[in-house]
Structure 1
Amino acid sequence: MVTVLALGAALAYGVADFLGGAVARRSTALKALAWCVPMGLAVVLLSALVTGGGTGWGQMAWGFGAGLAGGTGLITFYRALARGPMSVVAPVSALTAAVLPVAVGTLRGERLDAMVLLGVLLCVVAIGLVSMEDGGNKEGASDTGAESATSGLRRLLDSGPVMAAVSGACFGIFFVLLKTAGDGGGLWPLVAARAGNLVVVLAALLFMALFKGGAAGPPVAGRTLIGLALLSGALDAGANALYFIAARDGMLSLAAVLTSLYPAITVLLARAAYSERLRAVQRVGMAVAVAGVALVTVG
């Protein structure tokens, strides 16, 4: 049952990320999340009211903390999707997110055999391979001095793969904290997590309004774009719920790694919609990633 729930979460996350990334490309990450996150909160709140159950303040606090990490990851992830190819961003984020819960699960006493450990190592190698982008032309190579170095560092930190790795670390923390919050029963910790998401998004919007003159870029407008944003938020919330139940009832490492298979869905949809292509080294990275996740799953 844990396997089915985690794979269901992977499917929902994959579709949600594709839709959310499509909205972010036509607007901005923050403006897309301003629609997605409230919708997700409404979905989990309704689900918690329908399913009942209670939880303590401790579980709610863990859930809220998970939401803060997840909200930060969402902002970074959507920006990464708007910056780089979905077929690169999604796997980098997912593989980074998978490693942390496996490590924490091991420290908590979850036993991983040699095959699983090998799979984790392959995932780490795959992150580096998939993240390799074409250096492009060398215009501006004659620039020298601190300004050129600072500009190059800024471009690196703002690149799709780097932001994807940062978002993956945030999602890994989200997985761990939500597992910790899941011991009390009921979906209320998940409501607290979605509230944490909303706090992060609102804080980012406030920062943009006060210090950047508002979020630049076109708004999320039109029935189609708004509908995609709302559907993305609903699917993301559904994926949260499926993972939450899977992690509550099973091992953290297993639930997190299976859930992290979601890039397969995102990549397939991106290839169909945008005809995205991978470089040879990135194809090798994807193959290594598949092998790594397979070893972790089988093990």
Structure 2
Amino acid sequence: MTAVILATACALVYGTADFFGGLATRRSRVFAVVALSQLAGLALILALLPLLPGLFSARALLWGLAAGLAGAAGLVLFYRALATGVMSVVAPTTAVTSAVLPVLFGLASGERPHPVALTGVVLALGSVLLVSQDPSAAKGGSVGSVLVALAAGAGFGGFFILLALAPDDAGLWPLVGARLSSVTMVVLLAVVAGRTLKPAAGGLRVIVAAGLLDMLANVLYLLAKAEGLLSLVAVLVSLYPASTLLLARQVLGERLHPVQLTGVACALGAVALIAVA
């Protein structure tokens, strides 16, 4: 039950972070938002290290570094897919792929969730697909954009898998490694591409909020993984688009389509099934 609570809280915080990140990208360049938010997250994790101590080891740091590279690659590919495709295709493709890979990895590693929990996993994957749909958006999208979206999802899924492979007693050290590598990669890409890292006027606070929330979600993920199975924790975390949608509805007044509301309902049912298993 503890793992379910932590993973669900992680999804809520991830979704809120994405909401703030989305607001930030309306005013500032993508590279500026990503780089500065990641730096804010790095500052937070360094501040939390004394409060949630763990055993430092080269293995913990290396798994974190690898996870950070996978996550940063996934983010860059995700934005690339959005630039060449349409959100109604790219978002669900990326989200479902990032959820499926950790589930398959967990099952292949010998995890055997209760059949009721597996039913919840299937329902959760369906809910991610539904809440990411936007019937009002343009249809279609090139095969290339779909392939890039799949690669982006693999990057995000790899982030969760690689973090889970870090030693259980490592505490927050894997996240330190992950953030160091992701910040370095994003800044280098920005320099090579000649993109500015300066945020728009008044945009820094929103960017920092997105970065702090994203790192808080990462911490909750590690805590959840320490308490439960990767195949269940990862799929609960993947429900984050539901909270982003609900925030957009409440704060921005965006309209939710029936298919998306159905997805939110399925997400709640999935959490309930996994919790009672």
Structure 2 length normalisation: TM-score?
0.81
- Contact 1:90–1:267 (CA under 8 A) maintained in structure 2: no
Judge which range, 21-30 or 76-85, deviates more.
76-85
Aligned counterparts of 2:101 and 2:80: Cα–Cα separation in 1: 22
Q: How many angstroms does 1:114 deviate by?
A: 3.1
SS at match of 2:165: helix
Return the offset for 1:75: 3.4
Q: CA deviation at 1:238?
A: 1.1
RMSD: 3.4
Distance 1:263 1:92, change over 3 A: farther
The one-character-per-residue Cα deviations of 1:74-121 (angstroms, maximum 9, x if unpaired) are: 334567789977x99776644432222111111111112333334444
Other-structure match for 2:142: 153
2:54/2:172 contact within 8 Å kept = yes
Structure 1 equivalent of residue 245 of structure 2: 267
Alpha-carbon distance between aligned partners in 2 of 1:81 and 1:271, rounded to the nearest angstrom: 22
- Taking the aligned partners of 1:133 and 1:164, their CA distance within structure 2 comes to 19
Q: Residue 261 and residue 20 in structure 1: after superposition, are their counterparts in 2 closer, same or farther (change >3 A)?
A: same
Change (3 A) 1:17 1:226: same
Matched-pair identity in %: 42
Any unmatched runs of 5+ in structure 1? Answer: 139-151
Q: Output the amino acid matched with 1:37.
A: Q
Aligned to 2:153: 168
Q: Which residue of 2 aligns with 1:244?
A: 222
SS in 2 for 1:51: coil
Q: Which amino acid aligns with 1:199?
A: T
Q: What TM-score does the superposition give when structure 1 sets the normalisation length?
A: 0.76
Deviation per residue, 1:46-71 (Å, 9 max, x gap): 21244333222122111111111111
Q: Given the superposition, is the C-alpha separation of residues 122 and 258 from structure 1 closer, same or farther in structure 2, using an over 3 Å criterion?
A: closer
- The residue identity in structure 1 corresponding to 2:113 is L
Distance 1:81 1:70 in 2: 17
1:221 paired residue number: 200
Do the aligned residues in 1 keep the contact of 2:64 with 2:175 (CA within 8 Å)?
yes
2:69 alignment partner in structure 1: 68
Question: How many residues of Structure 1 are paired with residues of Structure 2 in the alignment?
Answer: 274
Cα distance in 2, alignment partners of residues 51 and 123 from structure 1:
30
Q: Which has the larger radius of gyration?
A: 1
Q: 1:227 Cα shift?
A: 0.3
| Structure 2 gap segments, 5+ residues each | none
2 CA distance for matches of 1:179 and 1:127?
22
Q: Distance in 2 between matches of 1:84 and 1:220?
A: 26
Shifted more, 282-291 versus 168-177: the winner is 282-291
Query: Is the 1:123–1:289 contact (alpha carbons within 8 Å) kept by the matching residues of 2?
Result: yes
Amino acid of the structure 2 residue aligned with 1:222? A
Q: Distance in 2 between matches of 1:287 and 1:28?
A: 34
Q: Which one of the candidate residues 169, 174, 177 is aligned to 1:192?
A: 177
What is residue 99 of structure 2 aligned with on the other side? Answer: 98
